Chains A and B, each alone.
Chain A
Amino acid sequence: MSALYILIPVALLLVGFAIWLFFWAVDSGQYDDLEGPAHSILFDDEDPMHKAGVEQAQKPDERPDNQEPPRA
C-alpha cells in the first residue's frame, strides 16, 4: 500500500503532462480537420506510384540494382 504514496503523485504528473500535450496539439491545429487526413491516407494507398513502390519493396531480389526507393 505504501507504493500508492509514490504512484498517486506519478499519476498526477502524468495526467498533467498529458493535458499539457493535448493543449499543445489542439493549439497547433491538429484537431482542426478531423476528416481530410482520414481520407487522404486511403487515397495514397491506391496511388499508382505508391503501389509500384510497395511492389518493388516486396520483391527486392528480382531487380536489386536500379531500384527506386518506395514513395509514399
Chain B
Amino acid sequence: MASPTPCFHCGLPVPAGSRFHAQVLGATRELCCPGCQAVAEAIVAGGLEHYYTHRSETAANPQNLPQALPDELALYDRAEVQAPFVQHQGELSETCLLIEGISCAACGWLIEKHLRNLPGIAEAHLNLSTQRLQVRWTDSQLPLSQLLKELRKIGYAGHPWQADSAAAQLARENRRAMRELGVAGMLWMQVMMATMATWPEFNVDLSPELDRILRWVSLFLTTPIVFYCCGQFFRGALRDLRTRHLSMDVSVSLAIGGAYVAGIWSTVTGQGELYFDAVGMFALFLLSGRYLERRARERTAAATAQLVNLLPASCLRLDADGQPRRILLSELQTGERVLVPPGALLPADGRILGGQSSIDESLLTGEYLPQPRRVGDSVTAGTLNVEGPLTVEVEALGDATRLSAIVRLLERAQSDKPRLAEIADRVAQWFLLIVLLVAALVGLAWWQIDASRAFWIVLALLVATCPCALALATPTALTAATGSLHKLGLLLTRGHVLEGLNQIDTVIFDKTGTLTEGRLALSAIHPLGELDGDACLALAAALENRSEHPIARAFGRAAQAAEQVDSVPGQGLQGSVGGRQLRIGQPAFVSQLSGQSAPPIPGAQGQWLLLGDGQGPLAWFVLDDRLRDDAPALLAACRARGWQVLLLSGDSSPMVAEVARQLGIEQARGGLTPDAKLAELKKLHAQGHRVLMLGDGVNDVPVLAGADISVAMGSATDLAKTSADAVLLSNRLSSLVQAFGLARRTRRIIVENLVWASLYNGLVLPFAALGWITPIWAALGMSLSSLLVVLNALRLTRSPKP
C-alpha cells in the first residue's frame, strides 16, 4: 500500500479521495479534514502563514482537542464562573490560560501574534515551558468566550488555569533554584578576587593589614553562599545520614562545611590557607548541574500535570419539566438527570433512562470498538457517547466514580514503586569511605611528623579530593541525554529513566493506542455487486459524512454528503445519495432494505460493515485498528536486548491474539481490568523482574505508576502522561528504540565520568598527603576535572546514530 500524503497542517494521513485544500505559502496544500482546513485558512487569513516555515513539528489535529460547545464557552462569561481565575484592573481583565495543542516553539509565536492582532487584547504572553498564556484584555470589547474561540480558530484549546498548591510550589522551587545559582555565581567571583589576593602565587606586596581585611571580606562574602545556596546539600546530607546512607550529598557537605569552618578559623587567627574560592566554585558548579537537570526534566511535565480533564467542564441537566440547561459539572447532584448528546463525554457514573447508543470506553478499558448500551445499562464517567442522545440518571459523582477509583489505584501503585539504585550514589559511598579513611591515616602520620601542619594538610586533602567532578558526572550526562531525547520526541519527566533503562529485563505493552494506532482504519473493501471498490467507498463516505462515530472517521470526508441521513444506534446509517436509497452497517439492517436475507460475515478479523441499496448488498468494508508501522522494529529491538515481552490489554476481542501473532509476542492476555493488570505487574516484581511499561489509556495508569519505568504515548490521556516517567511526544515507537541506544551510551559516559573523576581524586591524594597541594592547585585541579567531565557529557548531545 502506498503511504498516504500527510496532512499539511497536522501530519496525519490524508484519507483517499479527500477534497480539503488550502492555499498556504503560495502552493495548494492537501489537508485531512475540515478542522485542519479551517485552522489553516484562519492562519493564512491572519497573515501568519509564516508559522508553517518556522515550525519544527506538525501541529496538533484540531479534532483531537477536547471539543467545547459554544454554550459551554459562554459559561465562562458568567461573573461567578470567572471569579476564581480572572483579576480585574479597571477596564482590563487578566487571566492565565493553559493552552493545549502546542507542539513546538512556532506555536507560541503564532498564538501571541494572532491574539495581539485582535482588538481588545492589551497583552498576550505565552510561556513555552509551562504552556501557560498570560493575557490582559478589555472584557467589554472581547468577552472571554470569544477569546477562547479565537484560540480554537487557530487550532489550540485554552483552559482557565488556577495555580494549585503543587504548581505554585514548583514555581517557587524553580525561582529559588535560580536565585541560589545567581547568588552563588556573583558572590563566588568576588570571593575569588579577595581570596586569590592572599595566595603567595599572586601576592605582590600585601601588607598584613590588607591581608586581614581581604580574609574578612571573603569570609563575609562566602557566608551567604554556604548558608543560602548550599542549604539543599546540607539538608540532603542530614536526610541520608538519618537513613544511614553515605551519599553524594554527605560528601559534598563535608567538603563545603570543612573548607568553610577552616576558613573561619584561618580568618580569625590570620594563619593558614584560605579555601573560600573552592567553596564558591564547588557551590556554583553543583548548583548549575542540578539546575540544568531540573530544567531539562520539567519542560512540559509541569504543563501536562495540570490537565487531568478527563471529565467535561459542563453538562446538560434536565429540569423538572424536561428542559435541558447547561450547568457547570460542579453544580451537578446525584439523582439528577442529564442529557448526553452524541459526541459528548459522560459527566458522571449513572444509569441510562432513555435513548440507545454505543459508548466508546477505549480510554477506560482498552476496548477498541464502541460498546452498545441501552435503557437500564450503567455508564461510566469519562467515556464517550458515540451515536444517539442519552438521558442518564446520575448515580455517582466526583470521588465516587469508577474513574476516581482508578486514580486511587494509581496513588497506591505509586507508593509501592521500587527505587532503582543509582550508580553515582554507590560510587560516592565508596569514595567517601576511602577519603575519610585516608584523611584519618594521613592526619595521624603528620601528627607524628609535624603536629602544626597536620590540620592544614588534612584540610587540603579534603578540599582537593572534594568530589566536584564526581558530583557533576551524573547530572551533566543525564542533562545532555535528556536534551537529545527531547529532540527525538521522548520527554523524560523523572530522572531515573535513563539509568534504569539499562536494568530492565521485562517489557509490558498495552495494545490499543500503543502498539496499534488506536483508531479504526479501513483495511479492505470487498465489492459484491457490479460497482467497484472506489465507487462503493464514495457512497459509504457520503453516508458517514456527518457522523461522529469513530467508524465514520475511517471513511474520510466525502466530497458529496448524503441526504436525509438517519442513524439507527447499534444498527447503522441510512440515507440517500443522488436519489438512491442506501444503508450501511449491520448485515441484517442493510438487507432489510432490499428484502433479502443477510449474507454471512465472511471473515473474523475486525469490524465488518455491509453497504447495500434497494437491489441488494453492494460491498463489505473491513475496519480494523492498524498496527503502528514501527511496532515490529520496537519488538525486534526489545528482543535483541533479551527482554521478556508481554502484551496486557483491556480489550477482550480476538484482536489481542492477532496483534500478538503478528508481532510474535508469546505472552498476551486480553480483557484485563486495571486491577488485574496491576496484579500481573506485582507478580513480575515478586519474581524479581525489572519492568518497563508502555501504555496510553486510563486503564494502564495504575501499571504505569507502579512499573520501574513507564512510558506513555503522546496521544495518551493526561492522567496516563502524568503518572508515567516519560512521554513519547512524537508517538513514534522508533524514538523509543533510539532511546534504548542512548540510554546505553549515557551509562557508558556516566561510567567514564565517574572513572575520570575518581582517577583525578586518586592521583591528587598522594600529593595532598605529602603536603604539596596549595589552594591554587586545588582550584586548578577541581576546575579542570569538572570541565573534562562536562565536555565528555556534551558528547551525548550529538544526535545518536540511527
Interface residues in chain A, defined as those with a beta carbon under 8 Å from any beta carbon in chain B: 1, 4, 8, 11-12, 15, 18-19, 22-23, 26-27, 31-36, 39-40, 42-44, 46-49
Contact indicator B187/A15 (Cβ below 8 Å) = yes
Task: Indicate whether A1 sits within 8 Å of B207 (C-beta atoms), given known contacts A11-B190, A22-B186, A39-B108.
Answer: yes
Task: Indicate whether A40 sits within 8 Å of B105 (C-beta atoms), given known contacts A15-B190, A26-B178, A32-B127.
Answer: yes
CA distance A46 to B109 in the complex (A): 12
**Interface CB pairs A-B, < 8 A, 24:** A4-B213, A8-B217, A11-B193, A12-B217, A12-B220, A19-B182, A19-B186, A22-B183, A26-B179, A31-B175, A31-B178, A32-B127, A32-B129, A32-B171, A33-B128, A33-B129, A33-B130, A36-B105, A36-B126, A39-B106, A40-B109, A43-B109, A44-B109, A49-B47
**CB within 8 Å of A: which B101-147 residues:** 105-106, 108-109, 112, 126-130
Measured as residues with beta carbon below 8 angstroms from the partner, the interface class of chain B is 35 or more
* Consensus secondary structure, chain A interface: helix
Q: A33-B127, A40-B105 known; 9 other A-B pairs, CB under 8 Å?
A: A4-B210, A4-B213, A8-B194, A8-B217, A23-B179, A32-B129, A33-B128, A39-B106, A42-B54
Task: Indicate whether A18 sits within 8 Å of B186 (C-beta atoms), given known contacts A27-B175, A34-B129, A40-B108.
Answer: yes
**CB within 8 Å of A: which B177-211 residues:** 178-179, 182-183, 186-187, 190, 193-194, 205, 207, 210
- Measured CB to CB, the closest approach of chain B to A24, in angstroms, equals 11
Contact indicator B207/A48 (Cβ below 8 Å) = no
- Measured CB to CB, the closest approach of chain B to A13, in angstroms, equals 11
How many residue pairs link A and B with beta carbons under 8 A? The number is 81
CA distance A19 to B182 in the complex (A): 8
Residues on A with C-beta less than 8 A from B235 are none
- Measured CB to CB, the closest approach of chain B to A70, in angstroms, equals 17
Residues on A with C-beta less than 8 A from B295 are 34
B526 close to chain A: CB less than 8 A: no
B88 close to chain A: CB less than 8 A: no
Contact indicator B112/A40 (Cβ below 8 Å) = yes
Residues on B with C-beta less than 8 A from A19 are 182-183, 186-187
Residues on A with C-beta less than 8 A from B592 are none
- Measured CB to CB, the closest approach of chain A to B652, in angstroms, equals 44
* Consensus secondary structure, chain B interface: helix
Residues on A with C-beta less than 8 A from B210 are 1, 4
Interface residues in chain B, defined as those with a beta carbon under 8 Å from any beta carbon in chain A: 47, 50, 53-54, 105-106, 108-109, 112, 126-130, 171, 174-175, 178-179, 182-183, 186-187, 190, 193-194, 205, 207, 210, 213-214, 217, 220-221, 295
CA distance A49 to B117 in the complex (A): 13
CA distance A1 to B76 in the complex (A): 69
Residues on B with C-beta less than 8 A from A32 are 127, 129-130, 171, 174-175
A26 touches which one: B128, B175, B194 (CB < 8 A)? B175
CA distance A47 to B178 in the complex (A): 33
Nearest residue (CB) in B for A15 is B190
Contact indicator A22/B182 (Cβ below 8 Å) = yes
Contact indicator B50/A48 (Cβ below 8 Å) = yes
Residues on B with C-beta less than 8 A from A46 are 50, 53-54
Contact indicator A15/B175 (Cβ below 8 Å) = no
B105 touches which one: A4, A18, A39, A49 (CB < 8 A)? A39
A36 touches which one: B129, B174, B213 (CB < 8 A)? B129
Residues on A with C-beta less than 8 A from B108 are 36, 39-40
Nearest residue (CB) in A for B204 is A1
Contact indicator B213/A35 (Cβ below 8 Å) = no
Residues on B with C-beta less than 8 A from A35 are 105, 128-129
Residues on B with C-beta less than 8 A from A34 are 129, 295
Contact indicator A36/B50 (Cβ below 8 Å) = no
- Measured CB to CB, the closest approach of chain B to A26, in angstroms, equals 5
CA distance A1 to B205 in the complex (A): 9
Residues on B with C-beta less than 8 A from A12 are 190, 217, 220-221
CA distance A22 to B221 in the complex (A): 17
CA distance A1 to B197 in the complex (A): 12
Residues on A with C-beta less than 8 A from B213 are 4, 8
CA distance A6 to B130 in the complex (A): 46
Residues on B with C-beta less than 8 A from A27 are 175
Residues on B with C-beta less than 8 A from A43 are 50, 54, 105-106, 109
Residues on B with C-beta less than 8 A from A4 are 210, 213
- Measured CB to CB, the closest approach of chain B to A6, in angstroms, equals 12
- Measured CB to CB, the closest approach of chain B to A16, in angstroms, equals 10
Please give me the 7 A-B residue pairs with the lowest Cβ-Cβ distance, nearest first: A39-B105, A36-B128, A33-B127, A43-B109, A22-B182, A43-B54, A35-B128
CA distance A65 to B772 in the complex (A): 77
- Measured CB to CB, the closest approach of chain A to B338, in angstroms, equals 40
CA distance A12 to B213 in the complex (A): 13
CA distance A27 to B194 in the complex (A): 30
Nearest residue (CB) in B for A11 is B190
Residues on B with C-beta less than 8 A from A1 are 205, 207, 210
- Measured CB to CB, the closest approach of chain B to A68, in angstroms, equals 15
Residues on A with C-beta less than 8 A from B193 are 11
CA distance A32 to B298 in the complex (A): 12
